[in-house]
């Protein structure tokens, strides 16, 4: 590995050179990151402390909340520190670690969202067989498959990044280390590597998006046979999930499902699937979910009165 590179660190150019924009982004992302941590911890504690944990949808939601914390924490603290201190260097080892963790937790989150879509499909389209199909063993298998799928996706990404030779330019036009920006500063022909990355990341994003889109088309068609109250309740639950999917997948498809090139807009789109979508997940899944709001109110009121 050492013979393939002459750089020990990279310079992340970040989102902007403007000091005022940097200050604004620092305040915004610091607030957003803290909100994400608090919101997801509240969701986790509320689900784990109640009977909701035994329901498949909330069992998956607890894993999604955990993944949101891990996924965003692999990127955002470094970004916030760079915006505050003005130092934007990252060591070679930490850069490779960031490539791995970002893809590992991000792809695991994609697979959990897919499991949640399947759960909604079974609940609405096959309600009489719901408890048989979505038993705890199958739910555990879905979660295990999400983590294994994350590893299967991310290890090839890491291997391709480690194999890249770096012998001169070390400025990455991004706010975190990702494979496409690294291809741009590698001192070799990266065409084949770019195609492999496209086949890996692009196929994962597209295949899961098509699967999710198809499942919701079937759900919407099935809802035509439900009562008005049943449609309202189902659409309320599915609406939260669809919002999360759109916020996450739309920018990810733009970035990864295309020839291996980088554009200035990539950094803006990356903000959606690395920070904005995970930040809004707690709000989307609580404000639009009456059952979740009630159980959070009950759990935290009990905690408050026990302290009294």
Q: Which domains does the chain have, with CATH numbers?
A: 9-306 (1.20.1070.10)
Rounded to whole angstroms, how far apart are CA atoms 129 and 153?
Answer: 33
With contact defined as beta carbons under 8 Å apart, do 69 and 40 qualify? yes
In terms of Cβ atoms closer than 10 Å to its own Cβ (0-12, 13-18, 19+), residue 134 is buried
Q: What is the token pair recorded at 301?
A: 């009121």
Residue found under tokens 């403007």: 18
- Give the predicted TM-score (pTM) of the model: 0.87
In terms of Cβ atoms closer than 10 Å to its own Cβ (0-12, 13-18, 19+), residue 54 is exposed
pLDDT in tens, the chain (308 residues): 444 567 788 888 888 788 888 889 899 999 989 989 988 988 888 888 878 888 898 899 999 999 999 999 999 999 998 888 877 888 999 999 999 999 999 999 999 988 988 888 888 888 888 889 999 999 999 999 999 999 999 999 999 889 888 887 788 888 899 888 888 888 888 888 888 888 888 788 888 888 888 888 888 788 777 667 666 766 666 777 788 888 888 888 888 877 766 677 788 888 888 888 888 887 777 766 677 777 777 766 665 556 65
């Amino acid at each position: 590995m050492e013979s393939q590179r002459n750089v020990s660190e990279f310079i992340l150019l970040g989102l902007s050179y403007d000091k005022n924009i940097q200050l604004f982004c620092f305040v915004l992302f610091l607030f957003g990151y803290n909100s994400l941590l608090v919101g997801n911890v509240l969701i986790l504690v509320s689900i784990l402390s109640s009977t909701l944990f035994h329901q498949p949808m909330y069992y998956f939601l607890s894993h999604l909340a955990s993944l949101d914390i891990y996924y965003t924490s692999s990127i955002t603290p470094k970004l916030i520190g760079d915006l505050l201190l003005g130092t934007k260097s990252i060591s070679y080892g930490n850069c490779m670690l960031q490539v791995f963790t970002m893809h590992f937790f991000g792809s695991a989150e994609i697979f959990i969202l897919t499991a949640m879509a399947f759960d909604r499909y079974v609940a609405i389209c096959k309600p009489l067989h719901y408890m048989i199909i979505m038993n705890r063993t199958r739910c555990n298998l879905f979660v295990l498959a999400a983590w294994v799928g994350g590893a299967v996706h991310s290890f090839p990404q890491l291997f391709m990044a480690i194999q890249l030779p770096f012998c001169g330019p070390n400025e990455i036009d991004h706010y975190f280390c990702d494979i496409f920006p690294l291809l741009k500063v590698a001192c070799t022909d990266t065409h084949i590597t770019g195609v492999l990355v496209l086949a890996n990341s692009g196929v994962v994003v597209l295949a899961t998006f098509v699967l999710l889109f198809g499942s919701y088309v079937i759900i919407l068609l099935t809802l035509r046979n439900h009562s008005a109250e049943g449609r309202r309740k189902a659409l309320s639950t599915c609406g939260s999930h669809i919002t999360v999917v759109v916020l996450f997948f739309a920018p990810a498809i733009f970035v990864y499902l295309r020839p291996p090139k980088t554009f200035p807009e990539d950094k803006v789109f990356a903000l959606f699937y690395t920070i904005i979508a995970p930040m809004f997940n707690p709000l989307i899944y609580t404000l639009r979910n009456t059952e979740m709001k009630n159980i959070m109110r009950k759990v935290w009121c009990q905690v408050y009165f026990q302290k009294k």
